[in-house]
Amino acid sequence: MDGNGRWAKKRLLPRKAGHKQGVEAMRRVVDWCDAHAIECVTFYAFSTENWQRPQEEIDALFELIDKFADREMQNYVSRGFRIRILGDLTQLPPHTREVLAKIIEQARTNTGLCVNIAINYGARQEIVQAVNRILRSGLREIDAQMLSDCLYTGGQPDPDVIVRTGGEKRLSNFLLWQSAYSELVYLDTYWPDMDDAAMERIVADYSSRDRRYGKIKRGE
Ligand code: FPP
C-alpha cells in the first residue's frame, strides 16, 4: 500500500493523514473484492523494516490498526469474512495483540472472503520461522509443500496477482515464496487514490497476461 506519505505531502498534510486515507482505500478494496467474489486479498500494512520509521509514525499506524480492528474488522467478522494476520505478532503493542486475537477468534469458523493483513511481516522472516517450525518437529528433510504449509499463508492459494502502488517496482520482502508465479502489476497511483476503477484496470491487465508456469502451449 505504497504512496500514503506522498499523497499527504502533495496536499501539505502530515504523513499520518495519508495513512488515514490509506485505510479508506483498504475499505474500498475489500468491498470491491467481496462484490467480485475474490477468494483472498492480502494487504501489506507494516513490514519488519517499518520499525525503523520515526516513533510518531509507528504510533499513528498502530492507532489506525487498532481502530480498524475495532470497527472495520468487526464488520468483516459479521459479514462472514475469514481473517488472518500474517507476521510475528509477539512484538506488537499489547493492546493491538489483544484486539487482533479477539477478532481472529471471532472469525474462526467463517468461510467467506479471506482478508489477510500483514503486520510486522517480512517474507524472509516468514520463511526462516517456517523452517524452524519444521526443524523443531524433528524432520531433517523437507519438501516445498511442507514449507508452504508452515508459512503464515499455510493452506491458502498462492496469489494470482500482486499489485504495488506508488510507482515502486520491487517486492520489498513481500510473499517471496508465494509469489513464484504471481503476475506483478505496478501502478503509479498512490495507495489512498485506489478505487473501483483502478481495480477494474488491474483485472483488465491481469486478464491479458499469458500464464504459462514455465510450460509452452500445445502446438507451439
Ligand atoms: C507505505 O506507504 C505504507 C505503509 C508503510 C503503511 C500502510 C498502512 C496503512 C494504509 C494503514 C494502517 C493499516 C491497517 C491495517 C489499518 P509510505 O508511507 O511509505 O508512502 P510513501 O512511499 O509515499 O512515503
CB 82 less than 6 A from any atom of ligand 1? no
DSSP state for residue 159 in the 8-state scheme: P
Position 38, amino acid: I
Q: What is the pLDDT of residue 174?
A: 98
Position 164, amino acid: R
CB 86 less than 6 A from any atom of ligand 1? no
Q: What is the pLDDT of residue 60?
A: 98
CB 1 less than 6 A from any atom of ligand 1? yes
Report the chain's mean pLDDT, rounded to a whole number. Answer: 96
Count CB atoms within 10 A of the CB of residue 96: 19
Query: Measured on CA atoms in the order 211, 214, 218, 219, is the torsion positive or negative?
Result: positive
- Cα(111) to ligand 1 centroid in Å equals 28
Instruction: Quote the percentage of the chain above a pLDDT of 70.
Output: 99
Closest atom of ligand 1 relative to the 3 alpha carbon = 23
Please name the helix (run of DSSP H) or strand (run of DSSP E) that holds residue 185, with its range, or none.
strand 183-186
Residue with cell 479471506: 114
Q: What is the pLDDT of residue 213?
A: 86
pLDDT in tens, 113-163: 999 999 999 999 999 999 999 999 999 899 999 999 999 999 999 999 999
Mutate to test the pocket of ligand 1, among 1, 16, 52 (most ligand atoms within 8 A of CB): 1
Please state the pTM of the whole predicted model.
0.96
- Cα(114) to ligand 1 centroid in Å equals 21
Say whether pLDDT at 64 is over 90. yes
User: What is the arithmetic mean of pLDDT over 99-114?
Assistant: 97
User: What is the arithmetic mean of pLDDT over 193-208?
Assistant: 97
Distance separating alpha carbons of residues 73 and 83, to the nearest angstrom: 8
Is 2 a known active-site residue?
yes
Is 50 a known active-site residue?
yes
Distance separating alpha carbons of residues 212 and 195, to the nearest angstrom: 30
Q: What is the pLDDT of residue 212?
A: 86
Instruction: Quote the percentage of the chain above a pLDDT of 90.
Output: 95
Distance separating alpha carbons of residues 111 and 79, to the nearest angstrom: 10
Point out the catalytic residue in the list 34, 50, 158, 205: 50
CB 165 less than 6 A from any atom of ligand 1? no
Residue 218, Ramachandran bin (φ over 0: left; ψ between -120 and 50: alpha; else beta): beta
